[in-house]
Amino acid sequence: MNQQQTYNINNGRTLREDGSFINIADAYRRFESGNIAQVTTGIDFVAVMDGDVYTGAATAPLTAGQTVKTVMTTPTDKDIIFMPVLLQGLVGALTVVLYEGSSGVSGGTTLPPTNRNRNSTKVSGATVTAGATVTTNGTIIGMFTVLASTQPSQALPSTAPLILKRNTTYTISITNTASTANAFVSELTYIEY
């Protein structure tokens, strides 16, 4: 058996070392090599089975004009494929901005990422902190507005996953642009390889 992964651009399948085929798995390799013709936002089932998919959730009340920040620091030894954030504003519009290279992070509550494979013993190397104070936001790499809804809206990145830099701090800033009190519920999901 050939012990390397082989990607076939014609059928979108990847042969893993163990001989199994995957359709979306190891998507970051396709992004890196430029061999992906269409970006999908679906979660790779094999990545879930392998214990490589994690979710963190946050919710908070917001006064008119208030901003809250969730910070993620990526591990030094693994790649993170950051999937679109599911976000719901309960009353009015929310503006969401994703920053890269944030610094001066303090406070907040650590959100232990949940492994989507409840049988896996793998633990994420990323740290996620909700309600943090951030001195320097960094560079804007995405922005999105979410209108009030009874259903979650897909937010950052708006249509496609992002491969995040290693050992880098990212901030998701959520601002209540409504003139009244609001609240939000967010779920961020990522694949860690």
All domains in the chain, ordered by first residue: 1-38 (no CATH), 52-192 (2.60.120.380)
Distance CA 1, CA 19 (A): 8
**pLDDT, the chain, mean:** 77
* Residues in contact with 122: Cβ distance below 8 Å, sequence separation at least 6, in sequence order: 51, 52, 115
Name which residue leads in pLDDT, 36 or 190.
190
Distance CA 36, CA 107 (A): 40
DSSP 8-state class, residue 24: S
Asked if 140 and 162 touch (Cβ cutoff 8 Å), the reply is: no
Q: What is the predicted pLDDT for the residue at 41?
A: 41
Q: What is the predicted pLDDT for the residue at 26?
A: 42
Count Cβ atoms within 10 A of the Cβ of residue 119 and give its class: 0-12 exposed, 13-18 middle, 19 or more buried. Answer: exposed
| pLDDT over 70 (residue 14) | no
- In this structure, of 33-47, 79-93, 164-178, the range with the lowest mean pLDDT score is 33-47
Q: What is the predicted pLDDT for the residue at 118?
A: 94
Name which residue leads in pLDDT, 108 or 183.
108
| pLDDT over 80 (residue 29) | no
| pLDDT over 60 (residue 27) | no
Give the Å distances, CA to CA, from 85 to 12, 77, 92, 162, 179.
25, 23, 18, 11, 24
Give the CA count within 13 Å in the CB-facing half-sphere of 141: 21
Q: What is the 3-state secondary structure (H, E, C) of 82-134?
A: ECCCEEEECCCCEEEEEEECCEEEECCEECCCEECCCCCCCCCCCEEEECCEE
Concatenating the DSSP letter of every residue in 129-193 gives EES-EEEE--EEEEEEEE-B-SS-EE-SSSSS-EEEPTT-EEEEEEEE-SSS-EEEEEEEEEEE-
Name which residue leads in pLDDT, 165 or 158.
165
| pLDDT over 60 (residue 117) | yes
Q: What is the predicted pLDDT for the residue at 158?
A: 55
pTM exceeding 0.85 = no
